[in-house]
Amino acid sequence: MTTEPDDNLWAAIADPSRRRVLDLLVQRGEASASRLAGQVPFTRQAVSKHLLVLEQAGLIGHRKEGREVLYRIDADRLDQATRALADVARQWDRRLGTIKRLAEAAHAEATRATRKRRT
């Protein structure tokens, strides 16, 4: 499977631990991996891994300050992600619309067949 931005996004938010990390960043603004690790019940290594995935999904960015790497929510890209989720909702609307057409056509067909048999 190719890794399109949307796939990365889904993978990033489908994991509850990553949602925790994202949650913390939304709340704190900016933080290092060690600082974040102090707030969650998993290791610093795990936090670093989650940060990498979140960054690949475009939800966060980082900058270096001295020896520290500070992570923060990328507002523009978060907006993009938000729109991507809105697209998913629209996709479901389209699918439901298709289901409606199919079911109504099948029903109309069955009704016509029944009438034909009666006459």
The position carrying tokens 């992570």 is 71
Least separation in angstroms between residue 66's CB and other proteins is: 27
Instruction: Please provide residue 77's backbone torsions phi and psi, each rounded to the nearest 5 degrees.
Output: -75, -30
- Distances, alpha carbon 108 to alpha carbons 9, 67, 98, 100, 116, in Å: 41, 70, 15, 12, 12
Query: Count residues contacting other proteins (CB under 8 A)?
Result: 43
Residue 104 sits in the site that holds other proteins (CB under 8 A): yes
CA atoms within 13 A on the CB side of 110: 6
Using CB under 8 A, which residues numbered 32 to 51 contact other proteins?
39-41
* Shorter beta-carbon distance to other proteins: residue 17 or 48: 17
Burial of 75-93, coded b for 16+ CB within 10 Å and e otherwise, reads eebbeebeebeeeeeeeee
Window of 30-38, 43-51, 63-71, 90-98 that interacts with other proteins by CB under 8 A: 90-98
Residue 30 sits in the site that holds other proteins (CB under 8 A): no
* Shorter beta-carbon distance to other proteins: residue 40 or 70: 40
Window of 30-38, 44-52, 63-71, 79-87 that interacts with other proteins by CB under 8 A: 79-87
Residue 112 sits in the site that holds other proteins (CB under 8 A): no
* CA dist., res. 83 & res. 3, Å (int): 18
Q: Judged by CB under 8 A, which of 38, 68, 76, 90 binds other proteins?
A: 90
